Structure 1
């Protein structure tokens, strides 16, 4: 992270040093140990649920957006965003995913429905940025990803 010498990072600030993508140590230090546990758990869940499907790709979005880790084959599954003392996941809900979400509207947690309703709809879908600060938030993300793309059968 590059900050002026008199500036301290604020919650949610992105990793913006562009010389190289952050490694696990840098991510852990930036987002904190609890958020890093959820980071590792979500990455492991994706690897186990979609073996051999996704190769995570670090993207640099400039000084304002910093680094993010995208999981994409032909369509994006999600993007993980390591913020200062915060972890978020961006899930883009296209037309089919929005229909599925609406069919299950009353099954989702109220916080997720509110986030969904408040998300702006773009031409490619609704972009949900979900802060992952609890096991429930992590479950919401994995449930959305499962709805978006069925995991490969295990075994």
Structure 2
């Protein structure tokens, strides 16, 4: 896998080489070591709390959207988007999730509530794109995902 040939990638640029899905080393090189630490932590969290539930699937969205890593069973769970020097997690909030979010509205961090309020609502729900730059951002995503789909009981 080769990274884009643009000599000066800009923050937020996507991986657009469609010859093959990016592997961990390509993702690490593209998003940077700090963002990759959060990327790996979120992937490990999903594997730990949802064992054998999801088979992550690399999707290529064309030269504008590039590669993203989707976690889906029957409904979308989350999609991770590697961007130059950062990454984002997309969480689609359907009607039931929006109701739960509103019930806990004053528990969430103000930044998350603002993002939620500003997100456009489509027929299938609100699409929240959360940039992951800190442990707090990571916590927001895991809390949203746990609310969206509680982990299977470990017994």
Question: If the TM-score is normalised by the length of the shorter chain, which range does it land in?
Answer: over 0.9
TM-score by length of 1: 0.97
* Cα separation, 1, equivalents of 2:38 and 2:152: 22
- 1:111 counterpart SS class: helix
Q: CA RMSD in A?
A: 0.8
Q: 1:12-70 deviations in whole A, cap 9, x for unaligned?
A: 10000000000000000000000000000000000111111000000000000000000
The Cα of 1:125 is off from its aligned counterpart by 0.2
In the alignment, what sits opposite 1:22? 22
Provide structure 1 residue ranges, at least 5 long, that are not aligned to the other structure.
none
* Cα separation, 2, equivalents of 1:62 and 1:81: 13
The Cα of 1:152 is off from its aligned counterpart by 1.6
Provide runs of 4+ in structure 1 moved above 3 Å.
none
In the alignment, what sits opposite 1:111? 111
* Cα separation, 1, equivalents of 2:81 and 2:67: 7
* Cα separation, 2, equivalents of 1:12 and 1:83: 5
In the alignment, what sits opposite 1:38? 38
In the alignment, what sits opposite 2:12? 12
The Cα of 1:3 is off from its aligned counterpart by 3.6
Provide structure 2 residue ranges, at least 5 long, that are not aligned to the other structure.
none
* Cα separation, 2, equivalents of 1:32 and 1:152: 32
In the alignment, what sits opposite 2:101? 101
TM-score by length of 2: 0.97
- Provide the aligned length of Structure 1 versus Structure 2: 153
1:92 aligns with 2:92: yes
